[in-house]
Structure 1
């Protein structure tokens, strides 16, 4: 671990956060056009929506293998390799002439994103002193969000000039640059006294040894991810429901996203100085209250206000999933632990929209949004009970 007296975030600005920003730009450029490309290749609306989910499915399927790769080859090599894999996957989408090839490319993008983010989290967990951990990981999450926010604008400019598929070229260029910056990262110092133990670690063993954490805090993380993934859909859906134009809906979503990006560092500082519970529980309570209030908004102004509060709640929770994962991860088996942790998070992110869709189909959109709010309240209760008051010290 880095020397606490000489640690500076500046040392991570280029090598650690630069690639994350670029990876986010690449994702942001690609995400808005995946469904449109699928439609151009002959997919129905329903199939196009399914293709969008393939990226999340790729991440879900590859979290545990990504942890094994990270443990075996080290964070720096794996991060660079993930960027290279993302370039190949993106170019596969760029040249795809049929839906099958395009679907393969989207799954591979999910694979590379899974490897990249897991290895990045593992690297910062080791490289940053524990008293700065929440700030470092909140900044990691915040920088990724900034990239995803910027990416669509760069992609839109490329599409305007060169056509729809050029968005994938933007993504590929961003990932090439991310890989080049990642190559400048310093390798983590070796731990000879732990190497023999680390070589003997298995995913099954980590799952068995830390099952209590996964069944308590881990369930809270699953619920957090479900609420967060639902929030991405509820703003545009409710905006359409109350009669706003697509342009107005995009403005509301963008304003809420801007609020989301402004508060990640202060939230990380609070977690470091006061404890994780000071942010994890309020984040879920604010998001839950916003979701429960949204069905009662019937104008653009009210929807914007509630959406901004929702964005604030999500923003203050930036990095909390990664921070808690880092806190509970063991020195021996850390990568495998984080792989399982991300599996829980991605499972929640998959289940959130399913719940929203199911309740909406059975009752109404308003009921679906309120159901997501109730999940947020449940997440707050679980985290309040399971997360220690202070997590500055190692907890496992």
Structure 2
């Protein structure tokens, strides 16, 4: 007897059914974080911090995320994805409230670290949820959309906080942030519960896993694709500093620099769904290699730019390359994560990604200090090309999780 339509998870799956509870929190969480990011250094300076201390306070958000990826897996395994998302929103709101209610550089620093902690929990829980909830043939589109809507939220957030700051002062930006992350928690609480697939519903309980067993069982993936992911994250994080630094080197006006940066970022936001569709229909390698190769070539070309037009061309190419790679890291992690112990696997995966994101700008800074800005940009471009080569070798031509002809 032929299977009924409901027997095939892909045939019965609908993005519309999970769109608001799955993607809505990402938009709002991104909006909340985007609202405070440009204000944190200004608040630190207003409270008497030096320029270097203000920069360090901002860094604590990323550090909080990096150091809490593993604890985030424990929270997700204990409470489940839905309540981990809710807890992340509440914890982020408490951190932002601390920044405002207890004036001082130390409370501000602690609050920013708490925001980073919540970021780790939220990012892990949302990725883990969609990995299970979305059939493999739609996985890249779902995860690319997830990352894309969060980018849109982080793009909108600063504009909302700017209006609030203009009307009520710097602290108002944190009010916008608190409203955003609490709204994300409220919508996240409506996430449908995950259902065990029928073929596993009556199966005996699997053997218990720990973080150590996950590391041991998947060490080859972590040492190959994991290295590629680390390089991708390092390049992506560095490219955020490269454009304004080279624009300053060319003596371009700040408004012109912002325009170039904005155009590059706008291109990224337009490409997240097409990127996911290509990954689902053609395979992950079709996006991973062109994405990093394009970024690498654009970075290598950037030191040869001499003005607005040539720098805009390089920045646009970087935005295009980063845009077509939207959702790549999350999709590769989801493809290789085991069903049992998935949160542990994704925690290590996100740790490698965050580690690359932290080391990339640090390496660029060291190269600029010891060599030159042009040399630092060129090395970053070389790392992007290395990442393209490694991903081309280690990503299968068609991922095992993706059938030859996925439904359209």
- Shorter-chain TM-score above 0.5: yes
* Alignment match, 2:173: 167
The structure that has the greater radius of gyration is 2
| Runs of 4+ with >3 A deviation | 190-196
* Alignment match, 2:84: 78
Asked if structure 2 preserves the Cα contact closer than 8 Å seen for 1:197 and 1:332, the reply is yes
TM-score under structure 2 length normalisation: 0.94
Using the alignment, how far apart are the partners of 2:194 and 2:321 within structure 1?
A: 34
* Alignment match, 2:406: none
* Alignment match, 1:371: 379
Q: 1:340 to 1:194 in 2, by over 3 A?
A: farther
TM-score under structure 1 length normalisation: 0.97
Query: Residue deviations 1:215-273, cap 9 Å, x none?
Result: 00000000000000001111111111111121111111111100010011111101001
1:337 to 345, 364, 377: 345
Structure 2 stretches of 5 or more lacking a match? Answer: 1-6, 404-408
Shift of 1:2: 8.4
Pair 1:217 & 2:217 matched: no
* Alignment match, 1:235: 243
Asked if structure 1 preserves the Cα contact closer than 8 Å seen for 2:283 and 2:402, the reply is no
2:234 to 226, 236, 258: 226
Q: Map 1:297-308 onto structure 2 (within 5 A).
A: 297-308=305-316
* Alignment match, 1:24: 30
* Alignment match, 1:388: 396
2:100 to 91, 94, 103: 94
Q: 1:195 to 1:308 in 2, by over 3 A?
A: farther
Shift of 1:136: 0.4
1:287 to 268, 291, 295: 295
CA RMSD of aligned residues (A): 1.5
Using the alignment, how far apart are the partners of 2:376 and 2:54 within structure 1?
A: 22
SS of alignment partner, residue 229 of structure 1: helix
Using the alignment, how far apart are the partners of 2:73 and 2:387 within structure 1?
A: 26
Shift of 1:392: 4.6
* Alignment match, 1:38: 44
Q: Map 1:345-364 onto structure 2 (within 5 A).
A: 345-364=353-372
Q: 1:211 to 1:394 in 2, by over 3 A?
A: farther
* Alignment match, 1:158: 164
* Alignment match, 1:111: 117
Using the alignment, how far apart are the partners of 2:277 and 2:394 within structure 1?
A: 21
Pair 1:55 & 2:61 matched: yes
Q: 1:77 to 1:195 in 2, by over 3 A?
A: farther
Asked if structure 1 preserves the Cα contact closer than 8 Å seen for 2:35 and 2:176, the reply is yes
2:147 to 120, 133, 141: 141
Structure 1 stretches of 5 or more lacking a match? Answer: none
Pair 1:4 & 2:10 matched: yes
2:267 to 259, 269, 272: 259
Query: Residue deviations 1:25-79, cap 9 Å, x none?
Result: 1111111111111111221111111111100100001101101111121101111
Asked if structure 2 preserves the Cα contact closer than 8 Å seen for 1:130 and 1:392, the reply is no
Shift of 1:96: 3.2
Q: 1:278 to 1:318 in 2, by over 3 A?
A: same
* Alignment match, 1:124: 130
Using the alignment, how far apart are the partners of 2:376 and 2:204 within structure 1?
A: 49
